[in-house]
Amino acid sequence: MTRLRALALRAFPGDRRVWLVAAGVAVVFGALIGDALLERQERYTGTNSVRSRNASEAVQPGQRVCANGLDVPAGTGRIQLDPIASQPATLEATVQPAGEPPIDAGRFEILGQRKLDIPIPERAAQPASTPASVCLEVEGFEVRLGGTVGVGWGHVPPTIDGRSIPFRPSAWFLPPAGEKRSLASHLPDALRRAALFRPDPIGPWTYWVLFLLVLPGLAYAALRLLATAGARGRPPAWLAVALIALGQAWTWALLTPPFQSPDEPDHFAYVQYLAETGKAPSGEGPVQSSAAVLALDGVRTFSSIETPDSRPPWLASQEREWERRAALVPNRDDDGGAPGVSTGPHSPLYYGLLAPAYLAAGDSTFSELTAARLLSAFFLAVIAACAFGIVREIVPRRPALAVGAGLLVAFQPMLGFISGALNNDSGVNAAAALALYLTVRAMRRGLSARLGAALGAALVVMPLMKFSGFALVPVVLLGLAVVAVRELRSTRRLGPVPWLALAGTAALLFAVWSVASGAFDRTTFTTPGGATPVADTIALERIGGYISYIWQVFLPELPGMNTHWGLRWPAFNIYVEGGFAAFGWQAVHFPPWVNRTIAAVLLLLLGAGIAALVRRRADIRGIAPELVVIALAPITLISAVHVSYYSEVPGPIGEQGRYAFPVVTALAAAALAWVGAFRRSLTGPLVTLLVAAAIGLAAASQLLALTGFYA
């Protein structure tokens, strides 16, 4: 018994209350995740990776439309198409598997748009897929098919009475009616699909290791770090937090299908063109190189994104077809070069940092993409370390709070997803996190020459990563003003060296970029129009309308206000649904009850945090300026985001929750404010409650992504 106790203490050291709280949270999340794994439901056997975004040309009564060349996976017992009829119509369906006689699949009445379930004899387990055509003969009124305009390689164009049309109809494949499977039984298939279009040596084994060893190991390391917070250890706590965050970002980099994150094709095109030519995209013609276009067609990116019921390719034969074409079709890596819609004004700084990984990866587009993703993931490690540092500077006697802030960042699911993809959001998120940390450190310790130089560099680097970094410059300057006032009060003078280091570094880097920007065909301010950040902003010209606009984001519309939104609570859609789980191209989301729970917890934390600050107002007077800077960071950034998207009339949402991630370090610190209302001895268990929930949410998110992409 003594030996077992010693082993248990070694495995679960430190504050036992931390482990008990974590165990309680794990039971709750384990039950929820276990239920999701065991729930039996209909699951796709595959899709043709085509979303329903457009409608085909009309098929008139008496005509016959055929969806041709469909790869029907093994085990399929139903094929779904997406017909659209504005008036009642009848469809007579026929299925023609290759080399087999046609199958009469029945007659269907339709009106409006709905997926049409066409039963077929269940396909055998071998071969993996069977080519087939599905034909619909129209009676009554005209019918259109849902799908996507254009025909890419790997797709056979549909026909109307034998005439080909440039269209890709959507198709989904399901097992026979009534057959349901649990996700747990589906995991081998899902992990095999996840390994497609990946560089060697990544295979299904990679995902078994991630889900069974790496992710539980990261969770254990995080809880162990909390339980032993304050003890001297190796690696130091800030580095341990950073490594845990890196592990999370790497997991997302390997889990997310190629190019299945917002604007990733454009961001990859920038990295590729810069690495291949030494120039930023600035010409005319295609955005992507011919090699990238071949890869994008191979994974059917632009026909499968943005809808929750489409999937990337699942068949190994589709990967082999890309390999065959890549070997036979002449393609180049340097024949793109036009600025992408999402990357046009950006400086080459973020992309240049990833170029070494791209160049080291080899000559496969998917190898280059994966290597660049894995390097970009290091930005999440920087952000988590800065979250740790900010809180440690403010409350140095509560190390568990600092560890908790870093871990909340490390396990934030949407931040991990973006950090594991190619997107210059990662660059500005890390630069902003560093700038806020350096500002708080200067406010707590005073400005040294080294700190001043670092802060001066961060001020210039932030907007060069992405122009949204301009929004945090006023916050940093406010913090520096506090530093200056405190220094004047204590010494009646400003030490010239630190301030010269700050101003000189900022001026030097700005001057270097001003000269270099022309060589990269970029403007000095890297804004969409090239002007200063506040120029030509409609919201600032119509301040009353903007105040009404942003009021309605967070609060109910007041009498007399113009309606700016067609939603009841836009903040919920933007910052809860979009800020915690909007994977892929904002296509894979949590069920509504999960988002409502997250919103309730956030509101509870906000109220409890404000109450704690009021209750402890006498104790926090000495750090009030630092708290003001931390509070102003998200207010300033979010206000600036909404300035950019201000509209006088209701329209589609342009704002996305990920745009708030440059201030995620401040948000993580704010999320822990409520802990201050309790005595210091309870810090570890209380922080564990939040961190363990964040770990559970991250695990649920990775399972959600696995389901949304591969099941």
Give the CATH number for residue 80: 2.60.120
* Number of domains observed in the structure of the chain: 1
Q: Return the pLDDT at 443.
A: 97
Q: How far is the C-alpha of 468 from the C-alpha of 479, rounded, in Å?
A: 19
Q: Return the pLDDT at 206.
A: 97
Instruction: Answer whether residue 562 shows pLDDT above 90.
Output: no
> Does residue 380 form part of some domain?
no
Instruction: Answer whether residue 535 shows pLDDT above 60.
Output: no
Q: Predicted confidence band at 588 (pLDDT cuts at 50, 70, 90)?
A: very high
Q: Return the pLDDT at 541.
A: 65
Q: How far is the C-alpha of 304 from the C-alpha of 461, rounded, in Å?
A: 35
Region 569-584: mean pLDDT is 95
Region 191-211: mean pLDDT is 96
Q: Return the pLDDT at 679.
A: 87
Coil vs helix vs strand at 75: coil
Residue with tokens 């087999």: 100
Instruction: Answer whether residue 392 shows pLDDT above 90.
Output: yes
The set of residues, in sequence order, having a beta carbon less than 8 Å from that of 624 and lying 6+ positions away, is: none
Q: How far is the C-alpha of 210 from the C-alpha of 233, rounded, in Å?
A: 26
Q: How far is the C-alpha of 347 from the C-alpha of 424, rounded, in Å?
A: 10
Q: Return the pLDDT at 584.
A: 95
Between 562 and 390, residue with greater pLDDT: 390
Other C-beta atoms within 10 Å of 593: how many?
Answer: 8
Between 476 and 644, residue with greater pLDDT: 476
Q: Are 654 and 539 in contact (CB under 8 A)?
A: no
One-letter amino acid at 218 equals: L
Region 332-355: mean pLDDT is 90
**Per-residue pLDDT tens over the stretch 240-295:** 999 999 999 999 999 999 999 999 999 999 999 999 999 999 888 899 999 999 99
For residue 403, give the nearest of 231, 575, 253 by alpha carbon: 231
Q: How far is the C-alpha of 12 from the C-alpha of 347, rounded, in Å?
A: 47
**Per-residue pLDDT tens over the stretch 289-338:** 999 999 999 999 999 999 999 999 999 999 999 999 998 877 888 889 89
Coil vs helix vs strand at 107: strand
Q: Predicted confidence band at 33 (pLDDT cuts at 50, 70, 90)?
A: very high
Q: Return the pLDDT at 538.
A: 65
H or E stretch covering 643: helix 624-645
Residue with tokens 């997991």: 251
Q: Would you call 529 exposed, middle or buried from its count of C-beta atoms within 10 A (0-12, 13-18, 19+)? A: exposed
Q: Return the pLDDT at 618.
A: 85
Q: Return the pLDDT at 540.
A: 62
Q: What is the DSSP string of 647-688?
A: -SS-------GGGGGGGHHHHHHHHTGGGGGS-GGGHHHHHH
**How long, in residues, is the chain?**
711
**Per-residue pLDDT tens over the stretch 634-652:** 999 999 999 888 888 888 8
* Bridge partners, residue 130, by sequence: 72
Instruction: Answer whether residue 479 shows pLDDT above 60.
Output: yes
Our CA dihedral for 557, 561, 565, 566, rounded to 10 degrees, sits at: 80
Q: Return the pLDDT at 566.
A: 84
Residue with tokens 């059917």: 300
> Does residue 134 form part of some domain?
yes
> Does residue 572 form part of some domain?
no
Instruction: Answer whether residue 49 shows pLDDT above 70.
Output: yes
Tell me the angle at which helices 592-615 and 683-710 cross, rounded to the nearest 10 degrees: 160
**Which of the given ranges, 147-151, 427-431, 557-561, has the highest pLDDT on average?**
427-431
* Bridge partners, residue 149, by sequence: 167
Q: Return the pLDDT at 529.
A: 65
Q: Predicted confidence band at 545 (pLDDT cuts at 50, 70, 90)?
A: confident
> Does residue 101 form part of some domain?
yes
> Does residue 138 form part of some domain?
yes
Instruction: Answer whether residue 1 shows pLDDT above 70.
Output: no
- The residue range of the domain holding 97 is 46-174
First to last CA, the chain: 46
Region 430-452: mean pLDDT is 97
pTM of the model: 0.95
Q: Return the pLDDT at 435.
A: 98
> Does residue 155 form part of some domain?
yes
Question: What percent of the chain clears pLDDT 70, i.e. is strictly above it?
Answer: 98
The two structure tokens encoding residue 288:
């992507």
> Does residue 128 form part of some domain?
yes
Other C-beta atoms within 10 Å of 618: how many?
Answer: 7
**Per-residue pLDDT tens over the stretch 111-166:** 999 899 999 999 998 999 999 999 999 999 999 999 999 888 888 999 999 999 99
Region 553-569: mean pLDDT is 89
Question: What percent of the chain clears pLDDT 90, i.e. is strictly above it?
Answer: 80
Q: How far is the C-alpha of 444 from the C-alpha of 587, rounded, in Å?
A: 43
Q: Predicted confidence band at 106 (pLDDT cuts at 50, 70, 90)?
A: very high
For residue 120, give the nearest of 159, 165, 175 by alpha carbon: 175
Q: What is the DSSP string of 409-426?
A: HHT-HHHHHHHTS--THH
- What mean pLDDT is reported for the chain? 93
Q: How far is the C-alpha of 363 from the C-alpha of 368, rounded, in Å?
A: 7
- Beta strand pairing call for 40-41 and 129-139: unpaired
Q: Predicted confidence band at 5 (pLDDT cuts at 50, 70, 90)?
A: confident
Torsion 561-565-571-575 (CA) sign: negative
Q: Return the pLDDT at 531.
A: 65
For residue 710, give the nearest of 199, 46, 42, 210 by alpha carbon: 46
Q: Return the pLDDT at 677.
A: 83
Q: Return the pLDDT at 530.
A: 62
Q: Return the pLDDT at 151.
A: 82
Q: What is the DSSP string of 260-271?
A: -STTHHHHHHHH
Q: Are 274 and 280 in contact (CB under 8 A)?
A: yes
Region 83-107: mean pLDDT is 93
Q: What is the DSSP string of 510-536?
A: HHHHHHHHHHTT--TT--TTSS-TTTT
Q: Predicted confidence band at 668 (pLDDT cuts at 50, 70, 90)?
A: very high
> Does residue 89 form part of some domain?
yes
